[in-house]
Structure 1
């Protein structure tokens, strides 16, 4: 009559035991748990399966990284080739070869034949070499020595002046400005002598002048061919370093008979300006000979301080001709 009593305690006890067992198995399993960094692998059984999976995963990641760093090349048939690897030297080599091949293809596209392409490459190589050598390599330095004579064709009261003697030596620099033209300049040390002999109504007169000076020639030179004749036109400046003069007078008159010698009574000017003409021949790239003509337009005698009445109205626009040899380094 009475329904049997049904107790809920056994059911609750069983449910709690099942839940507790599931929690423990989850907490101590070799699978996924918080902070492990491992992923569930249903195919993995036993200890260490998570580590084994990580090694495979890392290897896969490395291979993908290498694939990302691969070098792609295209051959003449359009076939693409990708080179993978961790060796940076090999990758750089492949990249350089690919760049050279691409540049070569670009250059070749502009030419119809191999001769034109070869000329193009050769010309560009010459330009590159010239730039690399630098500007100073284009300038030639050398030394010049010469000897010659001076005359007095221009001026006033030039009668009685004899041919003098010239010696010069110095340095020269030459700069090409084209295939046929060049600019040259020099610094020369020069020694000159002048002599005079004349008569007037009451005396016989003799005079001599000697000078040491610097010369600065500068001219533009035109070469008719690479190894042959050349022509130069320019200017010349003479700067006197020192000078000495001597004047001898012999008087032979009715009541007077004597000889007199006076020094430095006809001083010369400190600066002479003139034009220059240079004609020469190139023997080889290092040796050449030339004939240089300088015409001065400044009076040699300083009329403001001259003391000899016989030469007070004299104007000497001296001419100089020297034969020189130039050695270029």
Structure 2
């Protein structure tokens, strides 16, 4: 039996180990992908820590990695639209026959391995001009904020927006908000390195959210009207309370960062009078990944500045530790098996 190396997480013991496992064989409608790049996400860190637990995983072990790109290595029976050698990114999840949404690298084996299985319909062709490391992070790291901006919040031109947390998702939100014409785009983060990155990604202003004059500066930048949309990528209650206070009329607060803490609307009268909204957001739909790949191909987007470091597959535990401790304030770290 052919084997391969894979980074496997035991969700019961929370042990991450790179080891030999059987190389998968594609079944009907599946392809085997030679993994060229796989992103390391904060969700992976949460899985290792036990904060996030799989809902539908069969057994105790899973190969991590929901941000994956590579080349089609082998075709299973009845594959109609893919060919050996095709360059592809993989959707971060899929629906099963019962209608459940399953996440790659969480509910079934992902791409922190030399090879990954993928259903044919989860393949997204990528152009030769798009490097594998940049292609890998589009599902989730880019598609999640893209869906939050365009679908959940419906941000339009000249709308004033605030982005709390300029890490992996928030930094891309800044870039995408500028693309759709939002103005001003205001980034909020206590980390000076994150603020510098937000400016490099296109923010009109990057402010320290812990500064005593933060609220006054946001109101000044919005001409006193407040924010049309605010995005919480930090998942911190104090951030959400701060963002709510800065919303203007018809303002939308979009909750992207995950937390199990409650949300409190302290001035319910003002919230109702201004007809504000709080909107939950999670992940993206397949069309969002396709749209982003097309925008890259059209020269509208470039994610070269998003890759903060690359690691070999055997270094997966080190990459997790660097992201967990935010060493170097990374946007995205990438494994190259």
Q: TM-score normalized by structure 2?
A: 0.17
| Higher normalized helix content (fraction of residues) | 2
Q: TM-score normalized by structure 1?
A: 0.17
| Higher normalized strand content (fraction of residues) | 1
Which structure would you say has the larger Rg? 1
**Higher RCO structure (Cα 8 Å, ≥6 apart):** 2
